[in-house]
Amino acid sequence: MEELVIGIGEVLWDELPAGRRLGGAPANFAYHVSRLGLESRVVSAVGNDADGHELLEALRQCGVKGEIATVAQPTGSVGVSLDADGVPQYDIRTDVAWDNIPFTPALAQLAGRTRAVCFGSLAQRSAVSRDTVTRFLDAMPAGADILKVFDINLRQHFYTPDIIEASLRRCNILKINDEELHTLGGMLGWSADRLLAECPALMERYGLRLLVLTCGASGSYVFSPEETSFLETPRVQVADTVGAGDSFTAALVSALLRDLPVAEAHHLAVQVSAYVCSQSGAMPELPPEFAAALR
């Protein structure tokens, strides 16, 4: 099967202190997958406005291919501020184009050719895009080599327990950070001091192939039924952390699709993410040795 990798959900303008940049987790994910040598697409929607036209041109210029609908709502944007450690805080606009991604015959065909998809909770805040995400997942081929990655990506108040539960039941890889794990643990009634110990039970409950837990500067874990991989976070001079998690997911998925062992895939993901943290913005050019590791 063609190794087509999809990021589905929000594309938008990140309004950073240094200026406006192309953003949205699915676009960041698709960008890094393409830079690592695999064929990727981003699925989303923009408005029929100047921001939308400019966003499509920005995607073209950075080499991100997409199935991007044009809809009546305005193109999305997010106000981004950075704290003293370069960690972003978001002000996410509502009722925008990516809340209204239509499910089309072209998307159904694309789903049938997809080997791996990454989706989150944010684009499911609206019924229209949530239905499209669900139908896309359900239209993908079946099989153990198909990856459905739920990068939970909790933002502000834009999620519900029902959305999280439904997504967990449709994915086979969960990526979550330590703060999100606390939130999920609260939903599931876990003891706050046993969150890490509950990860294997969470995998079993939802039939997950992998559970990926990132803990910022404290390191990251990849749990599988056979093993647990832990790696410390490399020490780098942080420019900002915008898009670092998306690059981690992109590298991990790309490595798994190239049949690297879990520990090797985890190592590549950590190295790529650390490099992105050392650069400004979510989509820096990656050093060629990262892609070379997958050949």
Whole-Å CA distances, 96 to 63, 76, 88, 210, 279: 24, 5, 21, 33, 29
Total residue count of the chain as it appears in this document: 295
Q: What is the residue extent of each domain of the chain?
A: 4-292
Assign domain 4-292 to a CATH class: alpha beta
Give me the residues of the chain with pLDDT under 50, please.
1
- What type of residue is 40? S
- Per-residue pLDDT at 173: 98
pLDDT, tens digit, for every residue of 159-187? 999 999 999 999 999 999 999 999 998 88
Backbone angles phi, psi at 226, to 5 degrees: -100, -25
CB 114 within 8 A of CB 6: yes
- Per-residue pLDDT at 258: 95
Dist CA 69 CA 44 (whole Å): 6
- Per-residue pLDDT at 280: 83
CB 82 within 8 A of CB 18: no
- Per-residue pLDDT at 243: 86
Dist CA 234 CA 276 (whole Å): 12
E strand segments, 173-238: 173-177, 210-214, 220-223, 228-231
If we measure between CA atoms, which residue out of 244, 213, 209 comes closest to residue 224? 209
- Per-residue pLDDT at 160: 94
- Per-residue pLDDT at 2: 62
CB 230 within 8 A of CB 270: no
Backbone angles phi, psi at 19, to 5 degrees: 130, 180
pTM assigned to the model: 0.94
- Per-residue pLDDT at 190: 84
